[in-house]
Amino acid sequence: MSIQPYPLHFKPEFKERVWGGRALERFGFDVPQGAIGEGWMIADHPNGVSHVTNGALAGKGLDEIRELFGDTWFGSKGGSSNNGRFPLLIKLLDCNDDLSVQVHPNDHYERLPAGELGKTEMWYVLDAKPGAKIIYGLEQGVDRASLAKAIDEGRIMDCLQEVNVRAGDTFYIPAGTVHALCAGVLVAEIQQNSDTTYRLYDYNRPGLDGKPRELHIEDSLNVIAYEGSGATRMATDNAKPGEWLALASSPYFTTEKGVVRGEWRLTTTGESFVVIIVGEDSGSIEWSAGRVDAKAGDCFLLPANLGQYTLEGSMTVLRSQVP
């Protein structure tokens, strides 16, 4: 199929979650009824595939596009992950209530579900209500034995670090990091293409079906990085127009924040596609053959062979690639 590369925009796959709400409506999406916690913005997973809304490939799923164009569009490093699919999963999360306390395994955990990968991820806080917080790691000195004892005694929260958050904060969450988003936070999430989560604690609440959600205590205790996972956090108020501010660097993705004021000329390489997430305000993406409008909440996949492109307008963006 002979189609010139262009920035791909997708229809989100929305997921109802017990902790979800309606905040994703603010971005102009047609959000289905219910407590919608996740918008899978760029997805190629058995649990959700996003479909293109614009251009010659409108209506086609990311899985089909990857099969059609392979490394030419996705890059010599970004063509696929270890399970043969698109390597990243891009989400927007609306946390109307607290998420479960959880941890993700790495790629080498022997009890991974068939066909699944581990999950290293990062969060960029798009909005946070006053006093909003997250759970981010264990308290100093907590080991497997003390954590298991606290779980048995119903006092797991004593072992967890709580961190206040505000818009613009970013958190890198390697596999093995105990974490949970809490009520009042809206985030963009860049992660490995995985849907593997082990729950340690879920506040003894019922799920959407009225039954308690499954916990995974043994798997969680097995995969936690008790000596530290390499998790890092930072505020990003110092991002300057026309310069990339590094937010996270992992074996699976790099993510930077950029502030667009006017025109910013950039280029892709043949090594990796580029994911652009618009965090605030609006503008456009221009390339040799066209232009597409961009507003807060929009996520675009720029093919590796797109070449020169221009971000224009007044907006804050995140740029992610495969290293």
Query: Known catalytic residues?
Result: 199
Task: Report the candidate in 255, 268, 253, 250 with the shortest Cα–Cα distance to residue 72.
Answer: 268
**Quick check: helix, strand or coil at residue 148?**
helix
Cα angle 208-211-213, degrees, rounded to a multiple of 5: 80
Task: Report the candidate in 322, 273, 319 with the shortest Cα–Cα distance to residue 7.
Answer: 273
Instruction: Tell me how far apart the alpha carbons of residues 249 and 322 are, in angstroms, rounded to a whole number.
Output: 10
Task: Report the candidate in 47, 46, 42, 54 with the shortest Cα–Cα distance to residue 12.
Answer: 42
Instruction: Tell me how far apart the alpha carbons of residues 253 and 269 are, in angstroms, rounded to a whole number.
Output: 15
Instruction: Tell me how far apart the alpha carbons of residues 38 and 20 are, in angstroms, rounded to a whole number.
Output: 7
